[in-house]
Amino acid sequence: MHRLWVLGVFIFLYLPLVVVIVYSFNDSRLNAEWVGFTLGWYRVLFRDDEMLKAAGNSLAVAFASSLIATVLGTLAGIAIQRYRLKFLNFLVMAPVAMPEVLAGVSLLLFFIQLMDMDLGMLTVVLAHVAFSVGFVAVVVRVSVASLDRSLFDAARDLGASPLAVFRHVTLPLVMPGIIAGFLMAFTLSIDDFVITFFTAGVGFQTLPLRIYSMIKISVTPEVNAVSTLLMILTLVLTLVAMRLAPEAIKGEA
Amino acid sequence: MALLEIRNATRRFGRFAAIDGVSLSIEAGEFFTLLGPSGCGKTTLLRMIAGFEKLDSGQIFLDGRDLSGIPPEKRPVHTVFQSYALFPHMTAFDNIAFPLRMAKRPEREIGERVLKALGDVRLAEKSDAYPRNLSGGEQQRVALARGLINRPRLLLLDECLAALDAKLRVEMQIELIDLQKELGITFVFVTHAQDEALALSHRIAVLNRGRVEQVGEPSSVYGSPRNRFVADFIGHISQIEAVVRESAPRHLRLEAQGLEITAPPMKSAVAGEKGIFAIRPEQVRMGLDDITDLRNHYRGTVESVLYRGDVSLYKVRLEGGALMEALLPNTGRTFGVNDEVCVGWRHDAGMYLNE
């Protein structure tokens, strides 16, 4: 009985994904019945300039925003843990818990009305930094927390300046956490729709935005193909991040 | 001036004084121990010397130089931490090389010195091992080598033997003594284990509630404790409430729970005052009727026997109700519970304490 329940839950979770993957190889325009195997939709996909451009934009935004978020989140995570900065913790974590629609609207207002900026890649990158800093900070904070505090004292004691302690002790020990944080930020960025929708403006399109505009007409097998690829990328990044993060928590001690 | 001079050091956490007006001077080449129960402030004092805790008042001088305002990395003082604090991402070699690299020594010199240090602590083959692959004793030796490699003026050791099992601990104690003698580096050792303090130190400072109760060589701290706290904290001791009947230059006469006791003299003792008569179990002798030649001898009943192999610890209820401990070798006559015995000690054994 229990097993049936578990099976049911897994079917509910994964069947839609499996359908998307299977139909991306279906030799038919319609997602109705299985006709035969083809890689044709992937060929179509890689000839679709609009789609490729959107994918390029997504990767660029993801790289830029997760890089910035990783630097800021790492510093915040270390500072929160080492100096017990409760308020900074709150400031960094609040956007994580904020409903995305709310974050999207307030970022839009911030960019247009307060900063008088043109919407485009820059605003999307900044918006993505804002919501992913918190995630990086949490992962880094946990991996700092797992370290014996006397390691930092020992390094000072043995002649390392605060900067040298950071470079030779803190950074290498927290590195798995930092990489995990980076991959998380990357994953969050590359498939974000809501906040991107509000902050992208008219001329700029990312992959999720492109997919959304295509399914307004119909869910074509090309959408299935691009979704499959996005799914694989996300899955790989998440798996790598999960492998790294527990390591950081164990602290190798 | 002594190598390390602590003058009136005080450190408060809120209203609680962790270190309360401590003054100590430690000579070059000494193996000096800070001994006290947990919470007595000994680790705080160590961290003040290392530079991790600031002083609210007072000063610490090293080689005549005031250390205030000098950060930990600029002090020629290294610490062996209780948890060893070995860097988990570095091999034994790199851990030991760390202080030399921070001091920007040339890489060739570092290689030679670290290899020699590894040999000195018998870890030559473990050069490339990470701390997680070393045993507790090996980690301990890496931590020691790392603390000593840059020849600090002072090595601070924070309860660093506490995590080892009993047998390894004794081995490490002997190793520590040898190492300290060989290198001539001044050690300041923190422990709550009085047997360890007695075995290792040239001098001991007994700390209690942030204050120094007594400073002296192990034999004087054990043999002539200045007050009840020191007497009680170091080793076993029997204590009986006593009233001074006569204070003479050569002896004291005490009355304690119906017993008349002749004790060693004490200048500050005044006839009529109340205090404590204290005596170590190994000073007490026990027999049937054969120890009546001793000045102090009383009748009693054995209440319990603790057999320890080489010796037995007896608790004896004396006439008048006082409880006395006696430590006797098991090579002579032994006694059982409820045996009627005679207990006694020399007139110059034990001590009267009025603090």
Structural domain contains residue A7: no
Q: What is the pLDDT of residues B251-303, one digit of tens each?
A: 999 999 889 999 999 888 888 999 999 999 999 999 887 777 788 989 999 99
Closest chain B residue by Cα to residue A175:
B89
Residues 6+ apart with CB under 8 A from B324: B238, B240, B279, B284, B300, B315, B316, B318, B343
Looking at the DSSP assignment, which residues form a beta bridge with residue B243?
Answer: B255, B274
Distance CA B157, CA B33 (A): 9
Residue A86 lies in a domain: yes
Specify the DSSP element, H or E, that contains A223: helix A221-250
Q: Which residue segment(s) compose the domain that A147 sits in?
A: 49-252
Probe site for chain A from B67, B95, B98 (most A CB atoms < 10 A): B98
CATH of residue A221? 1.10.3720.10
Report the candidate in B46, B63, B58 with the shortest Cα–Cα distance to residue B187.
B46
List, for residues B58-68, the tens digit of each pLDDT value. 999 999 999 99
DSSP, collapsed to helix, strand or coil, labels residue B166 as helix
% of residues, chain B, pLDDT over 70 = 100
Q: Do B98 and A168 touch (CB under 8 A)?
A: yes
* Contact (CB<8Å) A158/B99: yes
Contact by Cβ (8 Å): B101, A159? no
Instruction: Calculate the average pLDDT of chain B.
Output: 92
Q: What total number of domains does chain A contain?
A: 1
Q: Which residue of A has its CA nearest to B143?
A: A154
Is the minimum CB–CB distance between A159 and chain B shorter than 8 Å? yes
For residue A171, the chain B residues in CB contact (below 8 A) are none
- Residues of chain B in contact with residue A252, where contact means CB-CB under 8 angstroms, are 88-89, 130, 132
Q: Please, what is the angle between helix B107-120 and helix B136-148, to 10°?
A: 130
A188 within a domain of the structure (yes/no): yes
Write out the two tokens for A232. Answer: 């694989």
Count of CA atoms in the C-beta half-sphere (13 A) of B167: 0
Contacts for B108 with CB less than 8 Å, ≥ 6 apart:
none
Q: How would DSSP label each residue in B195-259?
A: HHHHHH-SEEEEEETTEEEEEE-HHHHHHS-SSHHHHHHSS--EEEEEEEEEE-SS-EEEEETTE
Domain assignment of residue A27, yes or no: no
Question: Is A106 contained in some domain?
Answer: yes
Is residue A80 domain-resident?
A: yes
Give all strands (DSSP E) within A99-225, no chain letters.
Answer: none
Domains of chain B by start residue, with CATH: 4-231 (3.40.50.300), 236-353 (2.40.50.140)
Are A232 and A168 in contact by the 8 Å Cβ rule? The answer is no
Q: Do B72 and A153 touch (CB under 8 A)?
A: yes
Separation between Cα atoms, residue A246 and residue B11, nearest integer Å: 40
Q: Which of A144, A157, A165 to mutate to test the interface with B (most CBs of B within 10 A)?
A: A157
How many cross-chain Cβ pairs, A to B, lie less than 8 Å apart? 67
- Best of B48, B77, B79 to disrupt the A interface (most A CBs within 10 Å) is B79
Angle at B227 between CA B5 and CA B316, to 5 degrees: 140
Within a domain: A176: yes
Give the CA distances from residue B132 to residues A137, B3, B85, in Å, rounded to whole numbers and listed in that order: 27, 37, 12
Q: Give which of A230, A231, A180, A228 is closest to A58, Cα–Cα.
A: A230
Residues 55-114 of B with CB under 8 A from A: 71-73, 77-79, 81-83, 85, 87-89, 98-99, 102-103
Type of residue numbered A6 = V
Nearest CB partner across the interface for B88, out of A158, A168, A173 = A173
CA distance readout (Å), B227 to B30, B191, B221, B248: 25, 20, 10, 20
Q: Nearest by CB to A157, which of B79, B88, B89? A: B79
Amino acid at A27: D
Looking at the predicted complex, does its ipTM rise above 0.95? no
Q: What is the maximum span of chain B, computed from C-alpha positions, in angstroms?
A: 76
Residue closest to B234 by CA, chosen among B202, B269, B256, B208: B208
Task: Please tell me the pTM assigned to this model.
Answer: 0.81
Report CB contact under 8 Å: B87, A155: yes
**Interchain CB contact of A154 with B (< 8 Å):** yes
Pairwise CB contact (< 8 Å): A252 & B146: no
Please calculate the CA angle B17-B18-B23 and round it to the nearest 5 degrees: 95
For residue B32, list its beta bridge partners: B188, B203
Give CA–CA dist B268/B247, Å, rounded: 9
Residue showing tokens 């009355």: B255
Please give chain B's pLDDT, 355 residues, in tens. 799 999 999 999 988 999 999 999 999 999 999 999 998 999 999 999 999 999 999 999 999 999 998 999 999 999 999 999 999 999 999 999 999 999 999 999 999 999 999 998 889 999 999 999 999 889 999 999 999 999 999 999 998 888 788 888 888 888 889 889 988 999 999 999 998 999 999 999 999 999 999 999 999 999 999 999 999 999 889 999 999 999 988 999 999 988 999 999 988 888 899 999 999 999 999 988 777 778 898 999 999 999 999 999 999 999 888 999 999 999 888 899 999 999 999 988 999 998 7
Query: What are the residues facing B13 on neighbouring strands?
Result: B16
